[in-house]
């Protein structure tokens, strides 16, 4: 049941992003903000960070800042350049958070590295906003979202995580390919490239975060469902920019 809940969150979030892409960049950013906020709500509980409230603010604030940056730079020649400042700010914020803690600063290393990992995942969600500016266009968002949904549906199967990860990879590639056939605007080679990279990233994250899924409570489950959606945005953007001519 826990796997079904987490997978359902991923599928719903991917569907909302796919629909929002056909509006404009601001609406798409608002749709991506939902899994970013969901990730922030549950990340500390998922990996057992010592300062849940502060870590949630770090992850959510960094993710929303990245989305705002993406909207501002989406039409520029080198949109990724602006994200160097976002990542630098995330690092400073993570250390600043430790300085402000009043709980004895237990597990400082775990707190910093855990919060930063969540912040980076949140920043990766901004790739969804940049994806329509590539030669894949808005349809690329739909193809990538279908890959995410297909890969995460496999997580509902009552098998071991190691097995469902590989099945999810196959489902994700098929999902992206089928979406490209339905849309008719994306070459199958491009769709396969997006599907392979997105499904691979989602399956790997499932393997990392889903190993102890049955022990998770609601906030942690929300983060498990939101994290693959966030990561897939920049993975799909990078795949189109680097691998598709």
Domain range summary for the chain, segments of one domain joined by +: 2-243
Per-residue pLDDT averaged across 212-238, rounded?
A: 84
CB atoms within 10 A of CB 22: 13
Instruction: Give yes or no for a contact between 36 and 125, defined as CB atoms under 8 angstroms apart.
Output: yes
Count the neighbouring beta carbons within 10 Å of the beta carbon of residue 215.
8
Instruction: List, for residues 124-183, the tens digit of each pLDDT value.
Output: 999 999 999 998 899 999 999 999 999 998 877 777 767 777 888 999 999 999 999 998
245 — pLDDT class (breaks 50, 70, 90): low
Q: How far apart are CA 36 and CA 57, in angstroms?
A: 11
Q: What is the pLDDT of residues 198-218, one digit of tens each?
A: 999 998 888 788 655 554 567
Q: How far is it, in rounded angstroms, from Cα 52 to Cα 41?
A: 9
Q: What is the CA radius of gyration of the chain?
A: 17
What integer is the mean pLDDT of 213-241? 86
Mean pLDDT of the chain: 90
Question: For the chain, where are the alpha helices, taking DSSP H only?
Answer: 2-20, 25-47, 52-73, 83-100, 108-124, 127-130, 137-153, 161-183, 188-209, 218-243
C-beta of residue 230 within 8 angstroms of C-beta of residue 62: no
* Pair of tokens at residue 126: 């901004």
- pTM over the 0.85 mark: yes
Query: Taking each helix axis from N to C terminus, what angle separates 188-209 and 161-183, rounded to the nearest 10 degrees?
Result: 150
Residue range 183-189: mean pLDDT, rounded: 86
**Residue for token pair 């520029």:** 76
């Amino acid at each position: 049941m826990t796997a079904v809940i987490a997978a359902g969150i991923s599928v719903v979030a991917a569907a909302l992003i796919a629909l929002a892409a056909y509006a404009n960049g601001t609406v798409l950013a608002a749709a991506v903000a939902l899994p970013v906020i969901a990730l922030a709500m549950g990340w500390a509980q998922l990996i057992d960070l010592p300062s849940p409230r502060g870590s949630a603010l770090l992850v959510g604030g960094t993710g929303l800042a990245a989305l705002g940056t993406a909207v501002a730079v989406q039409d520029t020649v080198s949109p990724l350049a602006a994200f160097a400042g976002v990542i630098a700010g995330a690092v400073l914020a993570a250390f600043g958070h430790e300085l402000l803690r009043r709980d004895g600063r237990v597990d400082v290393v775990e707190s910093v590295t855990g919060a930063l990992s969540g912040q980076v995942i949140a920043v990766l969600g901004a790739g969804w906003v940049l994806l329509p500016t590539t030669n894949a266009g808005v349809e690329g968002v739909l193809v990538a979202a279908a890959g995410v949904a297909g890969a995460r549906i496999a997580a509902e199967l009552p098998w071991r995580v190691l097995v469902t990860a590989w099945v999810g990879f196959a489902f994700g590639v098929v999902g992206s390919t089928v979406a490209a056939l339905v849309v008719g605007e994306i070459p199958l080679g491009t769709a396969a490239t997006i599907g392979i990279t997105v499904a691979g990233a989602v399956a790997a994250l499932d393997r990392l975060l889903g190993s102890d899924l049955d022990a998770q409570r609601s906030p942690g489950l929300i983060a498990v469902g939101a994290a693959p959606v966030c990561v897939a945005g920049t993975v799909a953007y990078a795949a189109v920019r680097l691998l598709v001519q």
